[in-house]
Each structure stands twice: as structure tokens, then as C-alpha cells.
Amino acid sequence: MQGIYDLMDRLLPLEALHYNFMKNALLAILLLTPLLGLLGTMAVNRQMAFFSDALGHSALTGIGLGILLGAASDLLSMLVFGVLWALLISLIRHTGTAGADTVISVFSSTSVALGLLILSRGGGFARYSSLLVGDVLAVTPLDLLYLLLALVLGVLAWFLLYNRLLLTSVSASLARSRGVHTRLCEIAFGVLVALAVMLAIRWVGVMLINALLIIPAAAARNLAGSARRHALFSIAFAMVSGVAGLFSAYAWNTSAGAAIVLYAAFFYLLSLLLHRRVRG
């Protein structure tokens, strides 16, 4: 890592980057935001904006169950439970007993309640309250390796699944007639989102993870005329919001996650204005 730190010092001689924790935070932002930008395009096109919200809430339950079962790592317990939660949501959605928004809402509320029930035993929830807003300054070099692997998987998944998922969202029967295994594609997408959300939750926070996944993609959709531009705009909005939010939070001594989401919201507002001007 020292070689990377030295390179950052030469390329970015900024006061904020004199500290290794800020370097780690910036690297995490540069790895995390493209991943969320890509996954966000698929979530927005499939009208599953609250799917990541339900998975984010499940992080509380994952940690709680990990504590009860004696798991060696909070991250491992979150990853395992998040993937299982995503698979269960997908399974119940396909039963047709309720709409996707209803199923996701039920799972979101249930995971929050169960997580709070476990973690608040004996008044101990204060130790985990940082999960609600996140702390990007707590990133470690090992976390950066996980994010790099997740980004590689995310890019591969976008190339392999995007068109299939888009066709499935238009017409599942048409997708099946074209040889698309719709159930497998949706499961793969759900698992990938679960992994990304669980890796990011400690730095973005339960309350903000859904916004960071969806807002850049929604802003990009207002301006993009093709799938490629949608992805590029979404990544750009997410990365600029992430970097600007990180340095603004350092300057203002406030929450980085909140600052990042507010920058993303500004881009969404700007995209609405530009979209109306183009349409007008």
C-alpha cells in the first residue's frame, strides 16, 4: 500500500490526503462508486429501487445473528445473511402472491425489527449505531481488496446480465423465448447487489446505501439515450458525488455518507432541469 500512498502524494498534493485514512477513504470511494453506479442502472431499469434498501436493513440482522452464533467476522455474517435474504426475496417474488414492492417492504421492515431486537438486548445497540450513517474513514487495506474484487465482478455482471435483465423487465415471456434463463439472471443480480451493499454498508450506512445506489442511476437515466451512456453517466455522477462528498465532509467535519448523497441529489435535480429543457 505504501507505493500507492506515495503515488497519491505525488499526484494529489492535498492537505486532506496527508493522512492514510483519507487515502484509504478516497480509494474506497473510487472503487465503490463505479460498482454502485453500474448496479444502480440495472436496479432502476428493473424498477427495484427499494431492493437495496431491504438488503441494507438486513445488515443489522446479519450482525445480530452473527453475534448469537459466534461468527468470527461481522462482515462475513452480513455477507452470508444478505445473500440468503436476497435469494429469499427473489423466491417469494416469483410465487406471485404479492407485488415486488410489497415483498421488498415486508422483508425490509422484518429485517430492521429483527436486527434491532437482537442488537438492543441489554441496551447494547449504541455500539452498532455507526452502521446507520456509516464511516468511510474506517476503511482498511483489506477492505479495499474486497471492493476491488467486487468491482471486477460488477463490471463482468453488467456486461453479461444487463441486456438479459432489461429484456426480462420488458417481457419475461419474450426473454424466455430468446433463451434467457430469467430466474437465474434475477438471482445472480440479487446476489451481486447483496454483496455490494454488505461491503459498502459500514462506510455508507443503512440509511443512505439505497440513495447512493439509486440516485446517480436515476439522474443518468434522465439524460442518457442508450444503455452505454446510462452506465457512463451513472458512474460519473456517482464518482463525482463520492469524491466531492468526501472532501466536503473533511472540510465541514460532518458525515461523508450524507454529503455524498446530497451531491448525488443535486445531480438528479440538475438532470431533471436539463431533461425538461431538452424535451421542451
CB 29 within 8 A of CB 216: no
- The predicted pLDDT at position 239 comes to 94
- The predicted pLDDT at position 27 comes to 92
- The predicted pLDDT at position 237 comes to 95
- The predicted pLDDT at position 114 comes to 85
Domains defined along the chain, listed by start:
2-279 (1.10.3470.10)
- The predicted pLDDT at position 123 comes to 64
- Segments of the chain scoring below 50 in pLDDT: 279-280
- The predicted pLDDT at position 97 comes to 67
CB 178 within 8 A of CB 167: yes
* Amino acid at residue number 246: L
pTM score of the predicted model:
0.85
Quick count: other Cβ atoms within 10 Å of Cβ 94? 15
- DSSP result, 53-95: HHHHHHHHHHHHHHHHHT-S-HHHHHHHHHHHHHHHHHHHHTT
- The predicted pLDDT at position 201 comes to 81
- The predicted pLDDT at position 269 comes to 94
